[in-house]
Amino acid sequence: MTTRRNFIKQSLASGAGLFIAPSIVPASVMGKHAPSNRINIGAIGTGRISRDHDMPGVWKYDHARIIAVADLDAKRAAEGKQYVEEYYSRKNGAPYTGVTAYTDYRDLLADSDIDAVLISTPDHWHARNAIDAVRAGKHVYLQKPASLTIAEGRAMSNAVNASGRILQIGSQQRSMEQFRVACELVRNGRIGRLNEIEIRLPGDPPGGNPQEMPVPEGFNYDMWLGQTPYVPYTVDRVHPPTGYGRPGWLRCEQFGAGMITGWGAHHFDIAHWAMDSEYSGPVEIEGSADFPTSGLWDVHGRYETEMLYAGGVVVRGMTDSPEKPNGVLFTGAEGWIFVSRGAYAASPNEPISTKSKALQASDPKILSPLGNDAIRLYVSDDHHGNWLDSIRTGRPNITPAEVAHRSCSACLLQHIAMKLRRRLYWDPALERFRNDNEANAMIARPHRPPYQF
């Protein structure tokens, strides 16, 4: 099994950019939380998930302060600055203008006052943003999934572990009690020998308008496309020009794999946690899926996958339904446990498709408290808070870079199987398919200059 000591140490370089509006933090609003005692944070990407989840997740802590934001859309950068400053003004009961807005994240990374960054960009930028951030000496909270491809995820994990910086992936289910309890119960044999895990994810609709449109003023569309191929701008390919609704890029394979990584990165991470396979992966994978034949949005629709792990556990993935609601079902020789988020949503626009209880079992006795000698897992009651605590204390965080890479890889392996529609054989130590050049060619994608890494 792969462990932390087996990580390959690699690193990549980053560049510099331009900023638009520096400002000064007034000392009068700091109180006992002087700059020397505080974690200064920059937010890279100020869209829906940043505004609804990531920035609020850290600004509630007095020992953290968001002092900068960056977005390739100048309008969003300015609105992000205003959003943060308005919050601190309300919190402190005094006007606050201490946030710098950048239109190039590399300039934010060049700011020596910033200790750590929130990365809430589209999926295809995640690995590059994280690599550049740790190379600049910043700690990272990275929205999931960890990467666009398996190769990029490997580069990200290597760079983070070579840097000594702390990366927390945004798999916040690790910090929800019911998921930890479910994994502890499975590890302690409450359902007997674990045989199968069933993971149910929501779907994405087809559609989207592919008609080319003028690029909005102040939006660096070429850089937004990044290392992916150039395609004409259309609003359904990017994000809404006003407001912060669910963006169209989530449904374009150019920028991500769809729900298999978007939600799958959460649930398959929980499967790995329960199986004690956080630093490994499946050995066999097969799958099928429906893909749209028209419209702009081309990520998978309904799908079914099956993965075999070395210990003999079969992990099945499928589209959720009223009969099989969103969540993770563990089935063993002596019963089952089902765990879900219940009514929790990270964003008001999140496609929650279950009203199930957060934790259920085939027999209520399965859920009774474990004894003092039981296997216990890492306890975190707040995901952003756990990251900040790790930065302050140096203690390990709950979902580090390699764990993030392995859970994302499991999802991407299923996506490759959906495309090839045949059984694949994977070596989780070498991170290569066995005797399969066609599948191995899908581990990476070509990078468009000048955004290659």
- The rounded distance, in Å, linking the Cα atoms of 130 and 139 is 9
Q: Which residues pair with 169 in a beta bridge?
A: 142
CB 69 within 8 A of CB 63: no
Q: Which of 226, 228, 221, 286 shows the shortest CA–CA distance to 253?
A: 228
pLDDT at 342: 80
pLDDT at 320: 94
CB 160 within 8 A of CB 11: no
pLDDT at 416: 98
Both structure tokens of 13? 């370089």
- The rounded distance, in Å, linking the Cα atoms of 417 and 287 is 5
pLDDT at 33: 43
SS3 19: strand
Q: Which residues pair with 44 in a beta bridge?
A: 70, 119
Taking residue 153's Cβ as centre, other Cβ atoms within 10 Å add up to 27
Alpha helices, H only, 215-334: 221-225, 259-262, 264-275
CA distances to 18, 70, 242 from 111, in Å = 11, 12, 29
pLDDT at 170: 97
CA dihedral 48, 51, 57, 63 (to 10 degrees): 150
Both structure tokens of 327? 């969540």
| pLDDT, tens digit only, all 453 positions of the chain | 433 333 323 333 333 332 323 222 333 333 444 456 799 999 999 999 999 999 999 999 999 999 999 999 999 999 999 999 999 999 999 999 999 999 999 999 999 999 999 999 999 999 999 999 999 999 999 999 999 999 999 999 999 999 999 999 999 999 999 999 999 999 999 999 999 999 999 989 999 999 999 999 999 999 999 999 999 999 999 999 999 999 999 999 999 999 999 999 999 999 999 999 999 999 999 999 999 999 999 999 999 999 999 999 999 999 999 999 999 999 999 999 999 998 655 556 655 545 568 999 999 999 999 999 999 999 999 999 999 999 999 999 999 999 999 999 999 999 999 999 999 999 999 999 999 999 999 999 999 999 998
Alpha helices, H only, 204-263: 221-225, 259-262
Both structure tokens of 295? 């419209």
pLDDT at 348: 60
- The rounded distance, in Å, linking the Cα atoms of 444 and 147 is 11
pLDDT at 37: 79
